[in-house]
Structure 1
């Protein structure tokens, strides 16, 4: 995968490069067809009757040989993997230039005026050159080719004039004979085949795009939209390898949920959890967080990139306020109040995709995650609503409102962590 490109951009890049391989083969085929048509159109008698045709054969040999060489070089460059997208502009210009130059030389040599340029078989290469542009999936190159061809052929109408002493009738008859007409038909046929091929390629890319869109929509049902966007834009191999990054991890859990849920109808429990998650999602999104997962009545929220500590603290405080308002509303409606516990810690995590091909999961791993979970578990014992570590407060340069709880060695960790608590929510009683 090319560095700096998303999978979608990489797909388009490969399609454009592969299209140049097809175009290169068509160039060589066209060069041989035009050269063969010129040879078939001229016999010894015609050469004696119209000597200018000898020069026409020389022009045809040089032009067709050059065009064949352009196709061969392009094909080998694509096959060797050295063809770059910027080169498409060069070969597109060469296609248009070949068409215009070949038409001009034919007009000059045959003494046919520019306003009769469509008598020249070479000009019928125009539909094919424009069809080449369709394969490139780049409207700018398409517009560029159209402008170049129209401007070039229009200029020939005014630049090339007929000499007064030339008998035009035999030359027109030669230009409209069966072999030149066969060349014209062959050019139209090739242009049509290129357009058919382009339609197949467009259809294939459209199917891939639709499949990717469906997959993204499916993932969005189960993963946060921001996380889905990051996953679909990243290199799959890099995601599997994982990457170390600085993050703040927030855990929020409903206190006393298990006891509350005992004996209640599944519908009531489901509605309660849905309301809780809606509030968590609203607050998390407002503070630039990503919900990594829900674990029953608990939520795990990630803050990555930028001021993770500040956003984590702000999100935790906002979530406490949101749940307090919800609890008051429930009390007014005659339901039981709600209270949560929040744990927040900051540090290095390993972020990436883990699992088998049948079941892949994007997650973050590391000591930071474990500590954040442990802090949330400490809320009930410490009789506070929000516990964070000194690491977070130092990173955010915040102390006001927080009080030191204790230094504690948490389960599963070597060394002690200084814990700070915040309790802004009074005991909920209806």
Structure 2
């Protein structure tokens, strides 16, 4: 059973990741990538410190006894392997997906501990006091680790990293004390005032300034991380919100619904619009002959053709209704050529259906009915942010639906109201077939059938 426990933990970790919100998941992935990168930095840092340790030991050989020199080299090797081990550990945690947010605090504490131990043994081996800590190459790992820590979007980790690092550096300086020259070495008289200047440079006040500057650097990066995290959260939230809108709204409408526009769109708007209804004739007979998989492919192919024609002429697909669709022209603002574009879209649809029949060899061929009407419509958003729906309502929509249904009675593929024909200025290409009340109202509507030559595709 013991062999399966790691996999069980990993599966549990994977489930916990999937359970996170998109924003939390993004931050988790970002932090994992940051730890992976920082792992490489630790390895590179260890190798760099090893090289610098060799240089320091060779340059101070005249001031260091053989035993202390060996101790210095041993400390350099230990530092290298410590950073290598910490870097590899962070790799393994990320790759195995065992990494948890609290582990970042442990890892940065390890960084501070390694730096402190390395500084202590380097100074102690040479016999220098804590005031020489700025002269040891290892100290320059501090700004490097603080800078690379900004890859995380966790200010608290950065604050703790700064605090732990400064505690390590100050601790080393306090334990070793302040002295200008190595233990057992007299101050050369030839230095004179220069020796006093060096003493002032490596005295307590300058070190306090250095410590303050390093601390401010760490806290400043933490503040930058706070700002970056807020900006990222806003960007992700806005992207998620827009993606959610795109799921439920027409592609042409979603970009128009800004953060402050949802309330306005929910109030709705009345304006002129042109409605096009399209429906497949005899769809029930097709559906009975097709299995679910082929039926899904059939509907998807039909809808792709509706979208192609609609996009070509600037229409907006309000919704697909089974084997039909409702297309609107004049959203968000009505145009003078809305009716003409609706008619052109209808012709394109009929041409695409004809091509589809030839390509697939449907028997019987796919036939559709298209009805077009223009007038006042209401459009807006209904529902909440989790399920917004764009809708077009009004008598114009009802009349357009009745005209589409009338294509069965008149055995034609395309019918339009007199309003549409007149506004498109295409009276010569259409002929009136009837005048009757539609949409449950008393007013009679003249219906026209297309008699002209279809535009060539």
Aligned-partner SS, 1:300: strand
Give the corresponding residue for 1:193.
219
C-alpha deviation, 1:326, in angstroms: 1.4
Matches within 5 A, 1:27-426: 193-232=219-258, 235-303=261-329, 304=331, 305=333, 306=335, 307-330=337-360, 333=361, 335-356=363-384, 359-422=387-450
Count of residues paired in the alignment: 261
Distance change (3 Å), C-alpha of 1:416 and 1:299: same
Moved over 3 A (4+): 176-195, 214-224, 356-359, 423-426
TM-score by length of 1: 0.53
Contact 1:388 1:419 in 2 (8 A): yes
Distance change (3 Å), C-alpha of 1:242 and 1:193: farther
C-alpha deviation, 1:382, in angstroms: 1.7
Paired with 2:301 and 2:348, the residues of 1 have a C-alpha distance of 16
Paired with 1:357 and 1:229, the residues of 2 have a C-alpha distance of 15
Structure 2: give runs of 5+ residues left out of the alignment.
Answer: 1-199
Contact 2:414 2:449 in 1 (8 A): yes
Distance change (3 Å), C-alpha of 1:384 and 1:250: same
C-alpha deviation, 1:378, in angstroms: 0.8
Aligned-partner SS, 2:252: helix
C-alpha deviation, 1:286, in angstroms: 0.8
Contact 2:416 2:449 in 1 (8 A): yes
Of stretches 375-384 and 393-402 in structure 1, the one that deviates more from structure 2 is: 393-402
Bigger-Rg structure (1/2): 2
C-alpha deviation, 1:389, in angstroms: 1.3
Contact 2:383 2:389 in 1 (8 A): yes
Contact 2:249 2:388 in 1 (8 A): no
Contact 1:327 1:339 in 2 (8 A): no
Paired with 1:187 and 1:272, the residues of 2 have a C-alpha distance of 69
C-alpha deviation, 1:421, in angstroms: 1.2
Paired with 2:349 and 2:342, the residues of 1 have a C-alpha distance of 10
Aligned-partner SS, 1:400: helix
C-alpha deviation, 1:192, in angstroms: 5.1
Distance change (3 Å), C-alpha of 1:396 and 1:188: farther
Contact 2:371 2:403 in 1 (8 A): yes
Distance change (3 Å), C-alpha of 1:276 and 1:334: closer
Structure 1: give runs of 5+ residues left out of the alignment.
Answer: 1-173
Contact 1:385 1:424 in 2 (8 A): no
Deviation string, structure 1 residues 267-315 (Cα, Å, up to 9, x no partner): 2222211111111111111111111111110011111232321211111
Contact 2:249 2:390 in 1 (8 A): no
Deviation string, structure 1 residues 326-374 (Cα, Å, up to 9, x no partner): 12333xx364301111111112222211135653311111111111111
Deviation string, structure 1 residues 54-75 (Cα, Å, up to 9, x no partner): xxxxxxxxxxxxxxxxxxxxxx
Of stretches 207-216 and 288-297 in structure 1, the one that deviates more from structure 2 is: 207-216
C-alpha deviation, 1:226, in angstroms: 1.8
Contact 2:339 2:420 in 1 (8 A): yes
Aligned-partner SS, 1:262: helix
